[in-house]
Structure formats: structure tokens, C-alpha cells
A and B are shown apart, each in its own frame.
Chain A
Amino acid sequence: MSIQIRLSTTLRDLVPGYDPENGLVFELKEGESSLAARDVARRMGIPPEEITIVMINSRQSDLDGTVNDGDRVAFFPPVGGG
């Protein structure tokens, strides 16, 4: 029961050992099949208020978005360019 995690820029510094190439795998607790994105972040030690952009399986979502077993979640702080 696991979730693929991708982090960007400063959020990487909050998770020791983050692998930029492959991201990391987040394990759900036994019996859990889904979790709010906010809780995924919290359990990884990332304060949700540092997150501005949430994508679940490459779709725009938010911290209330539901993450299911096998999903891919990406968290981004406020960033911009162009």
C-alpha cells in the first residue's frame, strides 16, 4: 500500500534523503487505502502551509484532495517563472 511522492525545490530540504531522480515512496498504514494530501504531507514532516501546488496523478488538486493507494502525488511550494 504505497504512494509515489515527488517534491520540488525547498520542500526537498524538509525530507532527509529525498532522491531527486526517483522521488520517494510513502507507505500507508495497515488498513488504510486512502488519505488526504494534507495528511500525507504532515506525516512526511512537511508543514502543509508550505505547499501551494498539489498534483495527484499529474492533475491539479489541493491539500484536501484524496490520495489512493498507487497514486503519484507532487507537492510544490509557491514558485513561478516564465
Chain B
Amino acid sequence: MFRFLRVNMATKACVFEDIPEEYAGLGGRALTSTIVAREVNPICTPLGPHNKLVFAPGLLGATNSPNSNRISVGCKSPLTEGIKESNSGGQPGGHLAKLGILAIIVEDMATEGEWWQLEISKDSARLVPSPVAGLNNFDAVARLVEVYGKDCSYVTIGRAGEFKLTAASIAFTDRELRPQRHAGRGGVGAVMGSKGLKAIIINPEGGKNHPLVDEEGFKAASKRFAKALTSHPITGKGLAEYGTAVLVNILHEAGGLPTRNFTCGQFEHHEAVSGERMNKLTKERGGEGSVAHGCMSGCIIRCSGIFPDAQGKFKSKWPEYETLWCFGPHSNIDDLDLICTFDHMCDDFGVDTIDVGVAIGVAMAGGGIPLGDGKAVLEAMQGISDGTPLGRIIGCGTATTGRVFGVRRVPCVKGQSLPAYDPRAVKGVGVTYATTPMGADHTAGYAVTANILNCGGKVDPLKKEGQIELSRNLQIATASVDSVGLCLFTAFAILDIPDALVAIVDMLNAKFGWKLTGDDVVTLGQRILSTEIDFNRRAGITEAADHLPDFFSDEPVAPHNTTFDFTPEELQTTFNWIKK
């Protein structure tokens, strides 16, 4: 029933395989990271033939569990040079799970200059020349839909992926066939581009997921999980009404909203780019705009609203908080409509909004773009699609941009840019940035919960006490959540409502006939992190890379005038179960 699909871009062979014993019981991030760690030489060139690109839905994909159709994308990252798992919503995760495909493993490379697309249906998979090469994501998908229809889902790269820019993303279509859910981080789109794979078309027709061992038990557990999500105020209401953008005003108030390339923790025009304003404008303008929109089937959180322009026409999805931040306060821009334009350009060209948005503010710090000049940013962004030198620099992300423009403050860890929380004012997430094997990534261990949001406990964001333990526990839990296929936002309910985790374990047991306990979930998370860290070590990334750039310890940030004051030795206690 379950199988792998192995695709060789050089020979064009597409082979369904039985699942080897060693991968039994794994899904999502657990599976992509285990496959990459076993099959990819850690010292290979990320954009060369020895790297592999792995797509895997989670263990609960295509079931009637709410919010369980996420997809993981794994490879060696051309941005961090370490292991990468980048995670996305959209329809393809559920569709692959429905076809019983636990992983697609893309190997080798097509002849340079050739572009192919992969057609997948119930009983077949084949590579055919792609007629949509050269197009960005929205045009490419529109053309593909004309050929393959509205019941398929689509995975594509834009021109940034074709150019193999190291901040290139992979786009996954949402329920309305818009390619605006992305595996954004780590340059996974460049890896797809390096293989000559432009698109994947998934036809779920006739697919049947793994039968449930205990149907009634699953139904009951799924109901309890749904109840936890709907009864928690964040997952039940807050995220739908204001999106993740609700955090702008909170982080400003907490002094953790990095402004003008991390030189201040507050932005005087925060209200102009806030979730409250986005909500208000979306309602006032009406038309194609929408508050509360789910990006994938089975989503009951519905955080991904649609932002309309002044005439009520679709402008972009609601930008995430991180996107609003990096194109906004970080770049000294307070024009919400303009930021939504940048968001849409990122989705269309296929780049990570975080690494590119942070690159914009860093380019400003280095004099490459005038500070706060929205028009100049528009031109620079268009350059990503046009392939101009500045566009390619920005499209390669923050670390490259910082080097090119000779910038002192380049907010990156392991080559990947920091997201929207100043680690001097939200120290728990700083520990995560420094230590996660993914490179700076808030989602790897979202300590903002207990530091700022009073969710899952309370740990003073300005003090060191408790932060390492907090980050450790969240990194372990997150690795497990990413393996089940659950949207990470379910964690808000999991952290506060004890039965939510029990319900997840019950669903897994009912689906597979397992006898897991909550402890097994912790063990799984630890195992995934150990596997990822081991890959990085073999790739030459040692513990010495687990630190923040020194300006975070040199320069106190207003308003709290705190620094990031963890020693390397302290940070190295994060993964305390790994023997040195």
C-alpha cells in the first residue's frame, strides 16, 4: 500500500519501491531527514548530481485528522550546506498521502538546460518535457491547470529556482490552485532547479490511503483533537481573524521587533503594518479578500487570509508576520500594500520571503538600496525574475547580500537569516536560532510561546534562566509534529491542552495498530534531531557553528538594552542527550 517513488532525472526512470524496513514508521521530517542522512553524501555539492530532493507527507496525511496534510521537503541545503527540512501547507501533501506515496526521492540531474515535469497518478509516474520552463509560479500553474485540470495539485519552482538562487523556494498549490504555500527555507527550490525538475503534477484520483486499523478509535481521537484546536483561543479564533501578522504589535510592545537591520527593537510605524490593520483593510475592501482562509484540506485553523487591493481584487495571500517584518520594520517601510506586493513577488518568482526580505534590509545597511525606498525595492525584487545582478544577489539571500555589500551586521546562523524576533529581547528563540541544525529558524523551536505569548508556560524573555531547556523541549516536540504532518500551529493547543497530544498518539495508534505513548513522541523527536546533527557533523558543520553573529553579544538593543549573553559552552548543552 505504502511505497516510495524514486525518480532519476538522468535516466528518467520513475520506479515505485516497497518501503525498506529501516524506514518503517517514519513520515514527514523524520522520513526526509533519515533518507537524506542515509542516502546523501554529506560532503556533496548541494547543486550537483549527488544531492537528493525528498518530498514526504506526514504520518497522518490524507486522514480525517484536522490540519494534518503538511509536506516536508528534505535535501542538503545549498544555503546552509547542512541538512534541510523545509515544510509547507497546500494540497500536494494530502494528495501524495492519498496515493499511498510516502516519499518521492528525486536523484541525479537532467542534462543542463533541459526542463522536465513529473506526472504522478494512482498507478503511474513519468517524466515529460516541461512546456512551462521560463515561467514564474502563477503563470506556470495556470498553464498546467489547462492541461491537467483542477482536481490535480501542483508543485513548481519559479524563475529563481531555475536560476538556482540559494534562497529559491518550492511552491505548493492551495485549494484554489494558487501556488502560494511554499517550502521556503534553505534554498530547496535551487536544488529542484539543479535537477532540471520544473514541476510535479499530482492526480489524486482513485487513490486510497492506508486503511485504518481501528476506524472507530481513529474517529474518536480525531474528534478530540479537533475539539482541542477549536476550543483553544489561538487556534480556534485568533489565527483566523488576524493571521500571524497579529505578532507585529506584540513584538513591538515587547521590544523584540527588529528594526532597521537589528539596530532597534521597536518600529515607530508598527500599527501601519500590523495584523489589526490587515484585518481591517481586508474587511473594508471586501471583494476577493478574505479573513479566515485554510491553505489545505482539513485545516480548521484558517490563518492564511487573502489580501485584496483597493479595488477588491486579489493582491496576495496575507503575508506572514515574518514577511511583514522583514519587508517592513527591518527595511524601514510602512506601506502595507507595498509589502503585500513584495510578498506576492516572492510567491511568484519562488523565493523565501524571510531570506530575501532580510537581504533587502541588509542591502540597505550596506548602501546597495536606499533605506526605506519602496520603489527601489520593487526594482530590485523584479530583478530576481529578470536575472539582473542585484536580483541574483538578493535572491541568494541574506548571507550573500551581506558579503557583497560589506555589511557588519549580517543576521545569519549557518548561512540562513534570522526571522522576526530579536534574540536579545526574546532569548529563548535566540537559543533555537543558534543551535538548530537547520540554520536560524524560529519554527524549529518556537520559544516565543513561553517568552512572549504566555502559552505553554512563562519564561522571562530578557533573562537566560530556563531558555535552553525551553528551546530543547520545543525543538524535540517540533521535530515530532513535523513528522506527523501536522501544521505547527497546532502546537499552541498541544502546549496548553494535555489531551491534544494524547489524541495525536491515539490517532497514530488507531491508524497503524501501534502502541505508542507520549514518551515515544519525545524519543522520536530526539532521534530526528540526532540524525540531522550527525549529518551536519559529517558535512563539516561542528558545534562551533552553534552561535549568533557577535554583534548580538556586542551591541545592546533598545528599549531593554540587553545583549545575547549565552556562552558557546552553555549553548552546547542544548542537545544534552547526544554523547560528544
8 Å CB contacts to B: which residues of A1-33?
Answer: 6, 8-10, 12, 20-21
B250: A residues at CB distance < 8 A:
8, 53, 76, 79
A78 touches B234 (CB 8 A): yes
Give the chain B neighbours of A76 by CB distance below 8 A.
250, 253
How many A residues touch the partner, as a band? 20 to 34
**CB of B529, distance to nearest CB on chain A (Å):** 19
Decide if A20 touches B238 in the complex (CB within 8 Å). no
Of the candidates A9, A55, A82, the one whose C-beta lies within 8 Å of that of B253 is: A55
Chain A residues within 8 Å of B9, by CB: none
A20 vs B274: C-alpha distance in the bound complex, in angstroms?
10
Of the residues A12, A74, A80, contact of B238 by C-beta under 8 Å: A80
In the complex, chain A residues whose CB is within 8 Å of the CB of B232: 78
The reply to whether the CB of B136 lies closer than 8 angstroms to some CB of chain A is no
Contact, CB under 8 Å: A81 / B321 = yes
Give residues of chain B (147-201) contacting chain A, Cβ–Cβ below 8 Å.
none
Identify the interface centre among A20, A59, A77, A78: most chain B CB within 10 Å of its CB.
A78
- Beta-carbon contacts under 8 Å, A29-82 to B: 52-53, 55, 58-60, 74, 76-82
CA distance A76 to B246 in the complex (A): 10
Collect the chain A residues with CB atoms within 8 Å of residue B239's CB: 80-81
Q: Are B253 and A58 in contact (CB under 8 A)?
A: yes
Q: Which residues of B contact A6 (CB under 8 A)?
A: 249, 253
A58 and B233 form a contact (CB under 8 A): no
Say which one of B87-95, B286-294, B450-458, B546-554 lies at the interface with A: B450-458
Contact A53 to B454, CB < 8 A, known contacts A8-B250, A79-B238, A82-B489: yes
Give every chain B residue within 8 A of A59 (Cβ-Cβ).
462, 560
Q: Which residues of A contact B471 (CB under 8 A)?
A: none
In the complex, which residue of chain B has the Cβ closest to the Cβ of A76? B250
Which of the four size classes fits the interface of chain B? 35 or more
Report whether B255 and A58 are in contact in the complex, using a CB–CB cutoff of 8 Å: yes
User: Does B483 sit within 8 A of A, measured CB to CB?
Assistant: no
In the complex, what residue of chain B is closest to A19 when comparing beta carbons?
A: B271
Tell me, yes or no, whether B353 is within 8 Å of chain A by CB: no
Cα distance, A67 to B243, chains bound together (Å): 30
Given A9-B242, A9-B275, A53-B453, does the pair A82, B249 have CB atoms closer than 8 Å? Answer: no
Q: Provide the residues of chain B in CB contact with A20, threshold 8 Å.
A: 271, 274, 276-277
With A55-B253, A82-B442 already in contact, the answer to whether A60 and B276 are too (CB < 8 A) is no
Docked-complex contact B276 and A9, CB < 8 angstroms: yes
Give the distance to chain B from A59, nearest Cβ to Cβ, in Å: 7
Contact of A79 among B246, B254, B488 (CB under 8 A): B246
B138 within 8 A of A: no
Q: State whether B249 touches A8 (Cβ < 8 A).
A: yes
Judged by a CB distance under 8 angstroms, whether B103 is at the interface is no
Chain A residues, CB < 8 A from B255: 58
Across-interface contacts of B254 in A (CB, < 8 A): 55, 58, 60
Nearest residue (CB) in A for B250 is A76
The reply to whether A60 and B442 form a contact with Cβ atoms under 8 Å apart is: no
> For A78, what are the chain B residues with a Cβ–Cβ distance below 8 Å?
232-234, 238, 453-455
Among residues of A, the one whose C-beta sits closest to the C-beta of B243 is: A81
In the complex, which residues of chain A have a beta carbon less than 8 angstroms from the beta carbon of B244? 81-82
Q: Are A77 and B238 in contact (CB under 8 A)?
A: yes
Q: Least Cβ distance of B567 to chain A in Å?
A: 24
Complex Cα–Cα for A78 and B449 (A):
11
Contact B462 A80 (CB under 8 A): no
Set of chain B residues within 8 Å of A53, measured between Cβ atoms: 250, 452-454
Q: Specify the chain A residue showing the minimal Cβ separation from B460.
A: A60
Is there a chain A Cβ closer than 8 Å to B446's Cβ? yes
Bound CA–CA A63/B389 (angstroms): 54
A7 CB, min distance to chain B CBs, angstroms:
9
Q: Are the CB atoms of B271 and A9 closer together than 8 Å?
A: no
Contacts of B489 in A (CB 8 A): 80-82
Please give, as numbers and ranges, the residues of chain B lying within 8 Å of A9 by CB-CB distance.
238, 241-242, 246, 275-276, 279
| Assembly CA distance A55 to B265 (angstroms) | 15
- CB proximity of A71 to chain B, nearest CB, Å: 13
User: Are B452 and A58 in contact, with the CB atoms below 8 A?
Assistant: no
A60 pairs with B242, CB closer than 8 A:
no
CA distance A60 to B461 in the complex (A): 8
Which residue on chain A has the smallest CB distance to residue B448?
A82
Contacts of A52 in B (CB 8 A): 233, 453-454
User: Which residues of B from 416 to 461 have beta carbons under 8 Å from A?
Assistant: 442-443, 446, 448-449, 451-455, 458, 460-461
9 residue pairs A–B, Cβ–Cβ below 8 Å: A9-B242, A52-B453, A53-B452, A53-B453, A58-B266, A60-B461, A74-B253, A79-B242, A80-B455
**Residues of A bordering B, CB below 8 Å:** 6, 8-10, 12, 20-21, 52-53, 55, 58-60, 74, 76-82
Seed contacts A12-B276, A78-B232, A82-B442; 20 additional CB < 8 Å A-B pairs: A6-B249, A9-B246, A9-B276, A21-B271, A53-B453, A55-B254, A58-B255, A60-B254, A60-B460, A60-B461, A78-B233, A78-B234, A78-B453, A78-B454, A78-B455, A79-B453, A80-B238, A81-B239, A81-B321, A82-B448
